[in-house]
Chains A and B, each alone.
Chain A
C-alpha cells in the first residue's frame, strides 16, 4: 500500500488490523487505538481520501490503496491549517483523540470549505474526545476554514477570557512577590 505517499510492502497475517499495522509495523504511532467497538475514532486515517476507522479495516484490505495518517498532514515542513487551528484554538488537551479529529476535519474542509458549526459537529460525531468538550475543536476547524480561505479576521478569532480593561486586576500583588 501507499502510506503518506510512500510505497510500503510487508508480509502480514490476514487478520491484522490496519491500526496495528500502522502503529506496530510502520511505527506510525500518531494513529491511536481507543476502543474495541469502532466508536471512539481515535484511529481515523484516510483510505483513498476518505476518513475510515483503521481499527475496523484489515490491513490486507488496504493493500494496493492509499493511506494517509496524521504524520502525512504536514507538507513540505508546513503545518496544515487544521493543525495550526487546533493549536491556536486550544482544540486539544491530552492529544489522544487529536490525530483522528484532525484527519476527519481535513476531509471535511476538502469537501466543504466553509462548514457551519452544525456540519462540523456532525462530521466529528463518530469520534470521542474526553478533554475538550468539543467547543474548541469546532472553533479550531472554523479557524482553519477561515485561514485557508484567507478570510480570517481578528473578529473571527476565538474568544478569549480576560478581564475588561476597566476592571481591576486580581488582587494578588501582595502575595505574588513582585514587590519584593
Chain B
C-alpha cells in the first residue's frame, strides 16, 4: 500500500508532536553542540606532545623516482622525522591493500603514478614547520609518458602504469558483464526503434567541507594504538590496520569523532592515515595529519568517470523492450573502488531502472590511468548514480525519437505494483514499489501541463526554457552476507541496547554518522519500539572499543541494515521485559498486552507496568521469573535478506540565458519514496543536500586533467560547488511504500537525490536546447559548453 502526501513549498501541514516518542519530526540531538562550536572533529583534537605530519606529493603524473634526498629536511630544527618510500619498504609498509583487492602505494618507491601521489612525509613540532620541511626534500624524477585518456589506455603502445604487478603488460583492470547478451541482441534485432547515445559521466569529487585527517597515538607501554580519523567505517578500518600493520586487533582502537561530511570520500583507507600511524610508532608521540583542500581534491577518492554507450530498443508505440550498454571505466592508478568484493562495478547492474524490460545486457571494461584512485563515492550507492543517469538519459532520447512526452513514456513502461518483488533482467530483486502515484504527485506539484504550456509560449518568443524528468529506483542497504563483503568482512551490522536501572538507555551502533542525524533517528527507532522517550536514549557510535562490529555508513545502508538491527534489538529487549512484567504482574506472558511503553494485563487496564518499572525490577531486588537473568539489555548482528529499493520522481525546470548560455535551475520538484519515514525533517534535509549535488554535477563540477596529467581542478577556485545562489528553493513531496522485508518497513534515502537529480537537470537542459537540434550534451553544462552546443559546435570532449 502506498500513502501519498506532499509538501511542496506551496503546501504546509501542521506537524505532529515536536517531541515524538518514536517516529516523526524531532529536532536533532546533535545540534546543541554544533551550533555552539562544540562539535569534536579530528582537527579539533589536541593531545600532549602532539606532532604534525605533512606529506610531500608528486608534481608529475607518471615518473620514475631516481633519488630522494631528505638531508636538509632532517636538519630543520623543528623536524622530528622524515620518512620515504624506501624506508617504509624496509618495514614492509610501502604498499597497502585497497578495498578492491588491488594494492596501493602508501609512499611511492619505484615510481609515481598520479599527480599528487604520496612520496615522503615529515613529522614536525607544528603544522607550519612540517610544511616548511617539505620544501627541503629534493626528489629527482625521470618523467614517463602519462596515460590520461581512458580511451587510449588499452592501446598496445600505451605505457604500462602498473609494472609493480607481476607480469602486468597492459592497463587492463577487469572486464565485467551482466544480463543476457544473446537474448538482448535478439530483442534489438526485432525492435521497431533503436536509439543509441554516447554518454559520459565525468569525474567529480565528493569534496566534503572537512577534508580527511587523523591523529594517531601509539602507546608503547601498553602497546595500544588509538587512531582518531575521518572514517565512515571505523570497524572495517581497524581490521584492515590489523592486517596491514600486523598489530593485534584488540590493541587497535579506531575512533571516528564528529565528521564534517563524508559523502563516500571517507570510506577508503588513505596513505595519510597509515603515515600518521607510522609517524606515531616511530616518534612515540601523538601525530596529527590533516590534508588541505588541494590534497583532498587531487589525491582522495574521486567519483564516477564512466564512459557509456547506451542503447535502447522499443516498439513504435513506446513499449521499451531492452537496454544494452557498453562502459569504459577509468579507475585511476590503483583500483581502490570501495564496493562489495563480488561487485567490481558496484551495483551498476540496476541500469534497467524502473522499467519492465524483456532483456538487458551490459559489458564493462575497467582500466588504469595516471590519476588518483577512487570511483565509488559521492552518494553513488555503488555506481547507481551512473546506472540511473544512463537509463534516464537514454529513455529521454527515446522519448525524443518517438516524439512522446517523457512522463507518458515512463508511465507506460513502469514495473507495476503487483509485479513486486520484481526480478530484473540483470538479477536484482526489487522489494516494493508503486511508481505511478509517485510520478503523478511530482507532475501535480510541478504543474507539469502548465509548465509545458509556458514553455510553448516562451519558445514562440525566443526564450529558452526546459523541463526535465527523471524517475529512479535505488538499491541501498548492502547487504546480504551470503554474497556481499568488503575484503571478506560480511556486510552485516551489529547493535547493542542497554537499559539502565532508571529506564534510560544507551544504544551502540556499528555505523557512523557524518551529519545524517543518526544520534537522533536511532534514538527514535528504539523509542518507537520500547516507548522510552528518545531524549532518554543515548546513541553511541564511531568508537570501535565501545560499539559492536559492523561495516559503517555509506551506500545509504544505515537505515536498511543498522536501523533494522536497532529495531530488532529493541524488540529483543521488549521480549525480555515481557517476561519480567509477567513476574511483576503475576500473570502469564500470553495475558500481557504491549502498549507503547508498558505492559498491561488483558482486560484489566489498571494492572500495568511501564518499561521504566521493568528496568528497575530487572536490576533490583526480588526474584525474576525462572531462567531470566538480571539486567535489561540485548545485542544483535543483523544480516539483511535483501537490499531496499527506494524510488523517486523528479522534475526540473531550467531557464537558459540566450546571450550567455548560463543555465538557471528555476524550480526543482522531488518526490521521494523511502518507505516508512523515521524523521521527515531529516529526510527532507538529506534530499535537499543531494539535489544540490545534482546541480553541482550537472552544471559545475568536474575533475579535469590536461594531456600531461596535471589535475586542473585542485582547488575550489576551479572545482565549483553550488552556493546558495545556484540552487532554488526545493519543492519536495513523498509517497510511502514500505519495504516488506525490513523490520520497520524503512528504506535508505540518503543518496537518492544525488542519484536522481543529475539526469533531471540534464534532461531539462537538453529539452531547452531541442530547438537547436540538440539531443544530448555531456556534463558539466557550464555556460561555455552550453554556448558551444547552441552554436551547433560539438562540445569539447570530456
Q: Do residues A161 and B716 form an inter-chain contact, with CB atoms below 8 A?
A: no
Q: Do residues A178 and B716 form an inter-chain contact, with CB atoms below 8 A?
A: no
Mark out the residues of chain B between 522 and 545 whose CB falls within 8 Å of any chain A CB in the assembled complex.
528-529
CB of B292 to closest CB in A, whole Å: 5
Against B, the Cβ 8 Å flags (1 = close, 0 = not) of A62-93 are: 00000001110110000100010011101011
Q: How large is the interface on B (under 10, 10 to 19, 20 to 34, 35 or more residues)?
A: 35 or more
CA distance A175 to B34 in the complex (A): 35
Q: Do residues A170 and B716 form an inter-chain contact, with CB atoms below 8 A?
A: no
CA distance A177 to B530 in the complex (A): 10
Residue among A28, A36, A170 making CB contact with B677, cutoff 8 Å: A170
**Smallest CB-CB separation from B16: which chain A residue?**
A162
CB of A131 to closest CB in B, whole Å: 5
**Smallest CB-CB separation from A80: which chain B residue?**
B35
Residue among A27, A69, A132 making CB contact with B46, cutoff 8 Å: A27
Chain A residues with Cβ below 8 Å from B730 are 133, 135
User: Is B550 part of the contact surface with A, judged by Cβ < 8 Å?
Assistant: no
CA distance A161 to B261 in the complex (A): 24
User: Is A53 part of the contact surface with B, judged by Cβ < 8 Å?
Assistant: no
CA distance A24 to B721 in the complex (A): 28
CA distance A129 to B732 in the complex (A): 19
CB of B574 to closest CB in A, whole Å: 8
CA distance A42 to B39 in the complex (A): 14
Against A, the Cβ 8 Å flags (1 = close, 0 = not) of B4-26 are: 11010101111110000000010
User: Is A160 part of the contact surface with B, judged by Cβ < 8 Å?
Assistant: yes
CA distance A159 to B733 in the complex (A): 12
Mark out the residues of chain B between 597 and 614 whose CB falls within 8 Å of any chain A CB in the assembled complex.
none
Q: Do residues A125 and B723 form an inter-chain contact, with CB atoms below 8 A?
A: yes
Q: Do residues A40 and B209 form an inter-chain contact, with CB atoms below 8 A?
A: yes
Most buried by A among B528, B675, B725, B742: B725
Against B, the Cβ 8 Å flags (1 = close, 0 = not) of A143-169 are: 000000000001000011111100111
Q: Do residues B11 and A160 form an inter-chain contact, with CB atoms below 8 A?
A: no
Q: Do residues B515 and A13 form an inter-chain contact, with CB atoms below 8 A?
A: no
Q: Do residues B35 and A90 form an inter-chain contact, with CB atoms below 8 A?
A: no
Q: Do residues B517 and A93 form an inter-chain contact, with CB atoms below 8 A?
A: yes
Mark out the residues of chain A between 89 and 115 whose CB falls within 8 Å of any chain B CB in the assembled complex.
90, 92-99, 102
User: Is B38 part of the contact surface with A, judged by Cβ < 8 Å?
Assistant: yes
Q: A130-B207, A130-B209 are in contact. Are A159 and B685 (CB under 8 A)?
A: no
Main secondary structure of the interface of B (DSSP, over half): loop
Q: A35-B716, A87-B32, A161-B732 are in contact. Are A170 and B260 (CB under 8 A)?
A: no
User: Is A180 part of the contact surface with B, judged by Cβ < 8 Å?
Assistant: yes
Residue among A128, A172, A176 making CB contact with B716, cutoff 8 Å: A128
Chain A residues with Cβ below 8 Å from B128 are 13, 15-16
CB of B446 to closest CB in A, whole Å: 17
User: Is B363 part of the contact surface with A, judged by Cβ < 8 Å?
Assistant: no
Residue among B3, B31, B684 making CB contact with A163, cutoff 8 Å: B3
Q: Do residues A92 and B31 form an inter-chain contact, with CB atoms below 8 A?
A: yes
Of B237-245, B655-663, B688-696, B783-791, the segment with at least 4 beta carbons within 8 Å of chain A is B688-696
Chain B residues with Cβ below 8 Å from A130 are 207-209, 261, 263, 689, 692, 721
Q: Do residues B717 and A131 form an inter-chain contact, with CB atoms below 8 A?
A: no
User: Is B453 part of the contact surface with A, judged by Cβ < 8 Å?
Assistant: no
Q: Do residues B37 and A20 form an inter-chain contact, with CB atoms below 8 A?
A: no
CB of A176 to closest CB in B, whole Å: 6
Against B, the Cβ 8 Å flags (1 = close, 0 = not) of A19-60 are: 010011001111111111101101000000000000000000
Chain A residues with Cβ below 8 Å from B721 are 128, 130
Chain A residues with Cβ below 8 Å from B16 are 162
Q: Do residues B260 and A94 form an inter-chain contact, with CB atoms below 8 A?
A: yes
Chain A residues with Cβ below 8 Å from B516 are 93
CA distance A163 to B574 in the complex (A): 29
Chain A residues with Cβ below 8 Å from B261 are 93-94, 96, 130-131
User: Is A137 part of the contact surface with B, judged by Cβ < 8 Å?
Assistant: yes
Chain A residues with Cβ below 8 Å from B41 are 29, 32, 96
Residue among B5, B37, B258, B263 making CB contact with A31, cutoff 8 Å: B37
A-B contact list, 21 entries, CB within 8 Å: A24-B126, A35-B292, A40-B716, A42-B209, A83-B36, A87-B28, A94-B261, A94-B514, A121-B725, A127-B723, A128-B723, A130-B207, A133-B687, A133-B690, A133-B727, A135-B727, A160-B14, A167-B3, A170-B736, A171-B3, A178-B594
6 other A-B residue contacts (CB within 8 Å) besides A94-B209, A124-B724, A133-B687: A34-B210, A94-B261, A96-B41, A96-B210, A130-B207, A159-B9
